């Protein structure tokens, strides 16, 4: 494996860890146990492999034995942890789809959380304990990869380790199929249930169904592939506990050119590493751009902006082209300046005989003292009568003949500027400036 490939994986695995942690907080607030542990296990796997790819890049030194022990145990747990989280998600979705009442007691919630913990944490821990039975030595270190668990290829290995992901995937698939059937059969009842449940919406339910289905479609084929690959390597008979653990304290260090020249083994390593990154990116693609995610992004942005001296400015416009929103910058002297660009046709206005470009900037100046009034400008449309237009023109002429007023120096004043180029035949947007 080249150094560039290893560095590329290090970057993507770290990005995967960050993407898993971004939506973690609001899923934890909603007590989505399955999704929370999915993010924990996937993020932990990405972070661990990122560290390993950096520390053991172009070397196979046994640096930190304690960390290597922990890392290899997490690798074993990840063998079933992510499929178990998918099972937890699909199981919860099925219970929601088949429930007949919205009222859930505190005892029922506690029991549901305990069941989710048994699935998402208990099964991986049991897998780590089972791995010790068939482990030939403490761990091995692969150049460019880092520590990896070492097991003997016996029938007991298939029973204790290799078949678990496929079995969990099949159970999860059964829940997924039944959930899909019930969902389309009872759409009306489910919609009423979701309306009565503040933490659940149709969009979130569909996204959870999607992540559960994608995980099942990935777990079963990959688990089957690993079983077939180990069978092709040759299955050895189990020779007892003493024989298997006779050299347990040994740590084998394997150079990169050795294990990379074994296509089957190298392919399994690549699948394991990149499947973690794929799980992280798929999860964020489904949940990182949802409505609740954008709302939380906005909340974080507002909080950070208020701390560093920035604020937000909203321009409300009502027209056939929709609304717009722009930010403003608060300066140290208390003056806020925002520039809004509006587009229109290059036509001659009924108020002014001067042609303007199609893009007209409108500059508004507001105060930092946040006054509690609003300034609104309305422009005539096609429904305005000719008498109203004439009165408007007379008022504009009268104001132009009055002496020009000197702007006050008080920073509490909020003075908008208006563009005199108003198109009677164009539906100009209604402009409302709010001082925040």
Domain that holds residue 404: 310-434
Residue 56 Cα distances to 18, 42, 44, 75, 126, angstroms: 22, 21, 18, 16, 29
The answer to whether residues 176 and 260 belong to one domain is yes
The CATH number of residue 264's host domain is 1.20.1070.10
Q: Which of 301, 334, 353 is the last residue of a domain?
A: 301
Strands (E) across 57-181 are located at: 135-142, 146-151
Q: Quick check: 389 pLDDT over 90?
A: no
The answer to whether residues 326 and 274 belong to one domain is no
The string of pLDDT tens digits covering residues 2-41 is 678 888 999 999 999 999 888 887 777 767 788 899 999 9
Helix axes 106-117, 33-55, angle to 10 degrees: 30
DSSP string, 368-400: TT--S-EEEE----TTS-HHHHHHHHHHHHHHH
Mean pLDDT of the region 108-115: 86
Q: Which of 263, 280, 301 is the last residue of a domain?
A: 301
Q: Quick check: 357 pLDDT over 50?
A: no
Where are the alpha helices (H) located in 234-327, listed in sequence order? Answer: 241-244, 256-259, 263-287, 291-308
**Band (111; pLDDT cuts 50, 70, 90):** confident
The answer to whether residues 29 and 106 belong to one domain is yes
Residue 365 Cα distances to 161, 358, 374, 389, angstroms: 68, 23, 13, 28
The string of pLDDT tens digits covering residues 405-417 is 444 444 444 444 4
399, burial (CB in 10 Å: exposed 0-12, middle 13-18, buried 19+): exposed
**Band (419; pLDDT cuts 50, 70, 90):** very low
pLDDT given at position 37: 93
- Asked if residue 436 lies in contact with residue 312, where contact means CB atoms within 8 angstroms, the answer is yes
pLDDT given at position 133: 93
Proportion of the chain above pLDDT 90, given as a percent: 38
Q: How many domains does the chain have?
A: 2
The answer to whether residues 192 and 123 belong to one domain is yes
| Ramachandran category for residue 346: left, alpha or beta (phi over 0 → left; psi -120 to 50 → alpha) | beta
Mean pLDDT of the region 289-303: 74
Q: Quick check: 144 pLDDT over 80?
A: yes
The answer to whether residues 139 and 17 belong to one domain is yes
The answer to whether residues 85 and 111 belong to one domain is yes
The answer to whether residues 22 and 57 belong to one domain is yes
Weakest mean pLDDT among 98-102, 128-132, 186-190, 328-332: 328-332
Q: Which of 273, 301, 329 is the last residue of a domain?
A: 301
The answer to whether residues 158 and 243 belong to one domain is yes
pLDDT given at position 183: 80
**Element (DSSP H or E) covering residue 1:** none
The answer to whether residues 152 and 295 belong to one domain is yes
The answer to whether residues 207 and 295 belong to one domain is yes
The answer to whether residues 132 and 171 belong to one domain is yes
Q: Quick check: 433 pLDDT over 60?
A: no
The answer to whether residues 424 and 323 belong to one domain is yes
User: Rounded to 5 degrees, what are φ and ψ at 371?
Assistant: -65, 160
The string of pLDDT tens digits covering residues 181-239 is 888 877 766 666 666 555 566 777 788 888 888 989 999 999 999 999 999 988 999 98
């Amino acid at each position: 494996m080249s150094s560039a490939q290893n560095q590329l994986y290090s970057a993507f695995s770290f990005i995967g860890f960050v993407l898993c942690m971004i939506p973690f907080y609001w899923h934890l607030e909603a007590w989505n146990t399955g999704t929370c542990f999915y993010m924990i296990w996937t993020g932990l796997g990405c972070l661990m492999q990122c560290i390993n790819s950096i520390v053991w890049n172009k070397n196979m030194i046994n640096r930190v034995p304690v960390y290597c022990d922990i890392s290899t145990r997490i690798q074993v747990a990840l063998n079933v942890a992510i499929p178990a989280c998918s099972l937890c998600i699909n199981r919860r979705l099925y219970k929601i789809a088949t429930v007949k009442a919205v009222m859930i007691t505190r005892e029922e919630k506690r029991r549901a959380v305990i069941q989710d913990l048994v699935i998402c944490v208990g099964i991986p821990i049991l897998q780590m304990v089972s791995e010790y039975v068939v482990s030939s030595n403490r761990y091995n270190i692969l150049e460019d990869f880092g520590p990896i668990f070492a097991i003997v290829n016996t029938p007991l290995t298939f029973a204790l380790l290799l078949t678990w992901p496929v079995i969990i995937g099949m159970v999860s698939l059964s829940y997924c199929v039944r959930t899909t059937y019930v969902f389309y059969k009872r759409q009306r009842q489910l919609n009423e249930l979701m309306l009565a449940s503040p933490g659940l919406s149709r969009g979130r339910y569909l996204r959870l169904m999607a992540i559960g289905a994608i995980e099942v479609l990935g777990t079963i084929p990959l688990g089957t592939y690993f079983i077939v690959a180990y069978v092709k390597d040759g299955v050895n008979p189990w020779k007892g506990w003493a024989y298997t653990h006779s050299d347990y304290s040994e740590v084998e260090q394997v150079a990169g050119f050795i294990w990379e020249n074994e296509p089957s083994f190298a392919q399994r390593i690549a699948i394991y590493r990149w499947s973690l990154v794929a799980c992280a990116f798929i999860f964020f693609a489904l949940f990182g751009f949802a409505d609740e995610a954008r709302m939380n992004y906005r909340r974080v942005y507002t909080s950070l902006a208020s701390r560093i001296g920035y604020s937000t400015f909203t321009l409300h416009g009502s027209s056939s082209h929709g609304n717009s929103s722009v930010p403003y910058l608060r300066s140290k002297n208390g003056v806020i300046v925002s520039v809004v660009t509006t587009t229109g046709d290059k036509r001659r206005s009924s108020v002014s005989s001067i042609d303007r470009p199609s893009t007209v900037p409108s500059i508004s100046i507001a105060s930092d003292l946040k006054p509690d009034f609003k300034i609104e400008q309305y422009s005539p449309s096609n429904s305005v009568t000719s008498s109203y237009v004439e009165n408007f023109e007379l008022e504009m002429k009268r104001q132009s003949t009055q002496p020009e007023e000197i702007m006050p120096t008080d920073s509490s004043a909020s003075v908008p500027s208006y563009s005199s180029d108003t198109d009677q035949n164009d539906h100009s947007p209604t402009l409302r400036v709010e001082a925040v």
